[in-house]
Amino acid sequence: MFRFVLCVFLSVFCFVSNYDISKMPKGLLTPTCVANYYQIFIRRAMPPRYYQYFHEILEGGDLPSYNMKTSYRWRIVGGRRISIEDAPYQVMYGKYCGGALLAPHWVITAAHCKDQQTYVYAGSTLRSQTVPYTICAHFVHPLWNTSNLHSHDYDYQLLLLELPIPVSSVARPIAIGTESDDEPGNMVSVSGWGHLHYKKSKMQEYLYRVSVPIMSHSECKEMPDGKYSNITPRMFCAGYLNGTKDSCQGDSGGPVVYNAKLIGLVSYGVGCAAPMQPGVYSNVPMGRDWIRSVTGLPL
């Protein structure tokens, strides 16, 4: 019965939002999940936001220091640990990808992390102590892996949770930035539990963070490795020409933050922290309309 009802809901959703029915969302069909779908896609009912976004709790106080425009000490590859309270929007998708909390019921991660995981983990600096939350459904961007320009174009995936993640100092949604935030030279922070060295380590127990500068599209496309020549407007590059600081394996789908707002997701790279091989990130503000159409959130 629940499977039938959910299929009806999803068919309506696909019709209303022009979502490719061949890419219908996957997930669990529990009664709570069906109720969530009903509220979002049939009633289009979203309760008033009762929580503050991450940037709102920093405004007027810690925001200038959070931007890290002059601090280069944070990095994932060979770097220093941070507390989850420094990045409470950070979650894990499964045990080997990252993600960002957009709302208590919603997480965004990378499409290339696939749609086969059952849980999102949140609420702790320590990877082993994060709390699991059941995923109702996976919404992969309908244009993912269909572009003739690049295999990682439209690298977006939204996750609807069965139960909301309680908002607190260790779990807080993050707002989405603007399309102009990917200006070359802006310092962005990337966090995750991923590897510290390419193919020489493993997922980390503690959360790490790196600060790297955004690179211009033209400069990135000129990198000697051919995997950069076809980046699209849904992507941006960030890193140092001499390497040393970067995201790495296991950080995929994790948040890229500027001015305490989400502007990117870890998409792909060539090795980790190697010279002339910056990281490539999905541009989240470019996907804002799709995110709105799926979640109903007033982003």
Residues involved in catalysis: 112, 155, 252
**Cα end-to-end span (Å), the chain:** 33
Give the separation between CA 27 and CA 232, rounded to whole angstroms: 30
Give the separation between CA 1 and CA 183, rounded to whole angstroms: 50
* Residue 70 amino acid letter: T
Give the separation between CA 79 and CA 184, rounded to whole angstroms: 23
In total, the chain counts a number of residues equal to: 299
- Three-point CA angle 297, 130, 39, nearest 5°: 25
